[in-house]
Each structure stands twice: as C-alpha cells, then as structure tokens.
Amino acid sequence: MIAGHFGFAAIVKSREKTAPLWALMLATVWIDVVFIPLFVAHRETAQQVHAGYGGLIIHADYTHSIVGMLALSAILGAMFLPRLGRRVALVIALVSVSHWVLDLVVHRGDMPVLPGNVGNLPSFGFGLWNHPQAAACVELVLVLVGAATYWRAAMDVSVQAGRSKTLASISAGLIAACGLVVLFLDYTS
C-alpha cells in the first residue's frame, strides 16, 4: 500500500498548497518509518503467509495500534508545528492518521487497539490483501487520482504565477511514474 499512501499525499497536496509535498509523503509512511527500527529490534515482526503482493501479516503491535498511531501522528504534527504553523502541522498529523485508515482496508485483522496488544482486545483489518488483484486496483486508483489531482492543482498554481505548465506536468508525471513503479515492484515481488 506504499504507492497508495503516496497517492493520498498528492491528493492532499492538491488541496493544501502550503504543506510541503515531502512532508506529506513522510506523513503517509511515518508509522512505517517508525516500524523499521522496531522490526530490526524484533519488537515488531512480519509473518509471510504467501509469496507476492500482500503476502505478509504484520505484527506491528506498537506502531499500527490505534493508540500508537494516534501518538505517533501527534508527535509528527508537533515536530512540524514550529516551522509550518498550526494548520499545516494538523494536516500532516491527519495525513499520518490516514496511513492507518488505508491500512485498515488492506491488512488482515492484525492491527490492535492498544500498543503491544495489551489486553488482547480485538485487532482490526478488512483483509483486502487476501485478494491481491483487488488490493492492487485500489492502490492503482489512489496513485492515478493522486497524480491527476496534483497535476490539476500544479497547473492552476503555474498559471496564476505566470509560469510554464511544463514543470507542473513533469512533477505530476514523476509522482505517477514513481507510484506505478513502487506498485509494480511490490505487486511482482
């Protein structure tokens, strides 16, 4: 779902023009960024259930728990608050929350309520990864809609600034191309 997360960041960028695209991209994968050192330290794990796209059950009981995600999103927003102001920091925090919401659709029931799955409460996930082609289609739609909305917004900004539309087209094309490459690599691995 990495490419889909980036597609969502491009959609948000088209609406929130003052938020840096790199910060929105970081926000969409922030809980995965924090997951990596915990994975390396064996605090969070992954179990392969089949080869290929969506073939892992991720036991990210800290980063992908609802409470953990909310805490990490608040921390990320707070990091951007002094530099970018309240509105953009809030947008970045909410984009970080979107990661969990998008993961909810694809993950199997492996996202707990509390960090460390304290209390063994029910875990969440709708399991779209059980249907890899459908999951890839949803992700592809996010990438294409993200690239298209970013392109349209970038064109509007270019026209208003009296600049060439070429740079806007190249930027949107790069977002779409990178998203498609990530999706392809993820789907074929």
Task: State the Cα–Cα distance between residues 134 and 18, nearest whole angstrom.
Answer: 34
Cβ neighbors of 98 (< 8 A, separation 6 or more) are 5, 8, 28
Which residues are 56's β-sheet partners?
48
From the list 121, 108, 2, 136, the residue with the least C-alpha distance to 67 is 121
pTM, full prediction? 0.79
Spans of all domains in the chain? 2-188
pLDDT in tens, the chain (189 residues): 677 777 888 888 888 989 998 999 999 999 999 999 999 999 999 888 877 777 778 889 999 999 999 999 999 999 999 999 999 999 999 999 999 998 899 888 889 999 999 999 999 999 898 888 888 888 888 878 877 787 777 766 666 666 666 666 666 666 666 666 665 555 555
